Structure 1
C-alpha cells in the first residue's frame, strides 16, 4: 500500500496518493510480548491437605467482572498521524522482546481509555489517513484490551470489549542500538539480520515497543527506489529534529548507498540495505510489532 506523504531532503512535503502524512527524513539521513498464556488457578487445599474441588464460574459471574466503560464525549480528539493526546499510561513492558502475537483492528470508532474502567481520552478509528489500522495487543485485564498506542512512544491505550476483530501476528522486528542490528523473526524464530544506521546523538532512535503503521513510496531517488515503512513511534524530542521534519514519524527505509551502516547518522529512523528492505516489504505487513532495545542479552553458554 502506498499511502503516506513524506518530507523530502530539502524539507518540502510530497504527498503520495493524496494523503498528507510524514515519515521522518532529511537530506543526509532518513530518517515489528506475546499475550501471557492463561494459567490454571492454584488448587484450594483443605485443612487436612486434601484438594477441595471448585466450581467454575458461571457466564453471568464472569460477565460481572468486566469493568464498565464510562461514556465518551463526542468532542474527544481522534488519534491520527499527529502526536497522540497526553494522559495515556506507560507501557510497563516496553523493552520486552517476547513477540506480540495478536493484533486488533477497530471496526468502528472506539473510545480509548487510560485504564480498564478508567477515563476516555481519545477515539481510535478503523483507519489512520484512510489506511486500515492494525495495532498489536499488549495485554488484557478485567475484560479490557490494551494496545500499543499509535503516534506515541511507549504508551498503551485500553479498549472496552466489542467493535473490533483480532488477527494473528506472526512476525516481529527487533532493533538493537549498540550493535546496529535489525533482526526479523517469524513465529519466534530469527529469519534474517542486517546491519543498520540509527539516529544521531540527540536524535537517537526511540527505545521501546512500537509497530509497522504502513508503507509509503520513496519521495526521491536518494531513498533507493524502495518503499518506506512508517512506524507508530515519533521522535522522543520533537524539537531536536530539523523544523521541516516536525510531526514526522520514525521509519524503516533504505538509502542510495550503504557507506553509513553501523553508524549514528539518521534523524531517528532505521536504515538498512535495499535488499533487506525489499525482503521485509515482501514478508512483513502492517501491525507487525517492532521493539528497539540497546542490546539483547547474550545467550547462555552451551555445555
Structure 2
C-alpha cells in the first residue's frame, strides 16, 4: 500500500529566391551569364545516439529513493497536455541524456502499483519522462522495453487561487476550490503525475481513497517525522471550512464528491501541474 502526506513552434520557413541574381543592364557588346544555382543542402537527419550498457548493480528507483544526477524538468510550469505515457515491461535503465550515463533502473511496479510515467520530450530513439519520488526531474529511456500508454486527462492545481481543475482531451471538465499546503509545508510546485491510489484510515478522509502523486515534500524536515518518507497526495477531507485555505502538510484536500470524481476518472500516469 502506498503512503501519502496526509495530515497537516514551428521553425521559420524561408521561401527560396530566384535561381540566380538578376543582371544589371550592360552594353550589348558585353556578354553576361547568370551563375548556376547552388544545389539545396540535403536535410539533416538526427543520428540516434546509442545507449550505453547499464551495470547490473545500478540502484532501482523506489518509493523512497531516486539517485542523483538526473536533469531538471526543462518546463516545470508548462500547462501543455502530455498525451503520451509509458509503462516499463520490466526494469529499464534510465539515462541522464540521450546516449548519456545510465543512473538507475525504473521498475515496472512500485509497492505493487503499476508504474506509468508521462513523456515530456522525444528525440530520435529516446523519450524523456517525469520521474517518481523526486521533484521536477526527468530521465531518458531508449525506445524499447516499454508499452505506450495514452493519457487523456490532465490536472492543474493553482496555488494562488486554491483551485484544482480537471481536463480531458484538452477540454475543461470541472474546477473545485481546494485546500493546499501551508507556508511551512507547501504543496510542491511543478509537473508530476498520479503514481497510484491508496486506502485511507479515519473519518477525516471522508471514507474514500487517496491519489498518491510522484511528488514528495520539498523540505522533508518541515513535516512531521511520520510523513517524511511519504508522497504528496490528493484526498478528500471531512470539513468544508478548510477549502480555499493553505493548511495541509503539502497534500491537496478535496470535497468528497470531487475526490470520488477524480478516483473514477484518473488513471496512473495522469499528469499533474502545480503552479503559483
Taking structure 2 as the reference length, the TM-score comes to: 0.88
The aligned counterpart of 1:48 is 19
CA distance in 2, matches of 1:41, 1:287: 34
**Corresponding residue for residue 23 of structure 1:** 4
- Corresponding residue for 2:122? 140
Give 2:75's aligned residue: 93
For residue 250 of structure 1, give the secondary structure of its aligned residue in structure 2: strand
Q: Given that residues 46 and 52 in structure 1 are in contact (C-alpha distance below 8 angstroms), is that contact kept between their aligned partners in structure 2?
A: no
Q: Return closer, same or farther for 1:71/1:41 CA change in 2, 3 Å cut-off.
A: farther
Verify: 1:273 aligned to 2:255, yes or no. yes
Structure 1 unpaired stretches of 5+: 5-20, 30-35, 295-303
Q: Kindly report the root-mean-square deviation, in angstroms, between the aligned alpha carbons of the 2 structures.
A: 2.2
Deviation at 1:48, TM superposition (A): 2.5
Measured in 2, the distance between the counterparts of 1:51 and 1:187 equals: 47
2:214 matched to which residue of 1? 232
Q: Does 1:245 align with 2:245?
A: no
Q: Secondary structure at the match of 1:278?
A: helix
Larger radius of gyration: 2
Q: Could you tell me how far apart the structure 1 residues matched to 2:128 and 2:196 are? A: 20
Task: Find runs of 4+ consecutive structure 1 residues off by over 6 angstroms.
Answer: 49-57
Q: How does 1:1-303 map to 2 (within 5 A)?
A: 4=1, 21-26=2-7, 29=8, 42=13, 45=16, 48=19, 65-294=47-276
Q: CA deviation at 1:45?
A: 3.7
CA distance in 2, matches of 1:51, 1:172: 49
Q: What CA deviation, in whole Å up to 9, does each residue of 1:254-276 have, x standing for no partner?
A: 11111111111100000110000
Task: Report the CA distance shift for 1:67/1:42 in structure 2 as closer, same or farther (over 3 A).
Answer: farther
Unpaired stretches in structure 2, ≥5 consecutive residues: 21-36
CA contact (8 A) 2:61 2:105 kept: yes
State the 1:164 CA deviation.
Answer: 0.7
CA contact (8 A) 1:210 1:232 kept: yes
> Does the Cα contact within 8 Å between 2:238 and 2:255 map onto a contact in 1?
no
- Count of residues in Structure 1 that have an aligned counterpart in Structure 2: 260
How far apart are the structure 2 equivalents of 1:43 and 1:228? 53
Deviation at 1:25, TM superposition (A): 1.8
Rounded to whole Å, the distance in 1 between the matches of 2:260 and 2:50 is 45
Provide closer, same or farther for how the CA distance between residues 107 and 46 of structure 1 changes in structure 2, counting only shifts above 3 A.
farther
Instruction: Tell me by how many angstroms 1:130 deviates.
Output: 1.9
Q: C-alpha separation between the residues in 2 aligned to 1:202 and 1:40?
A: 44
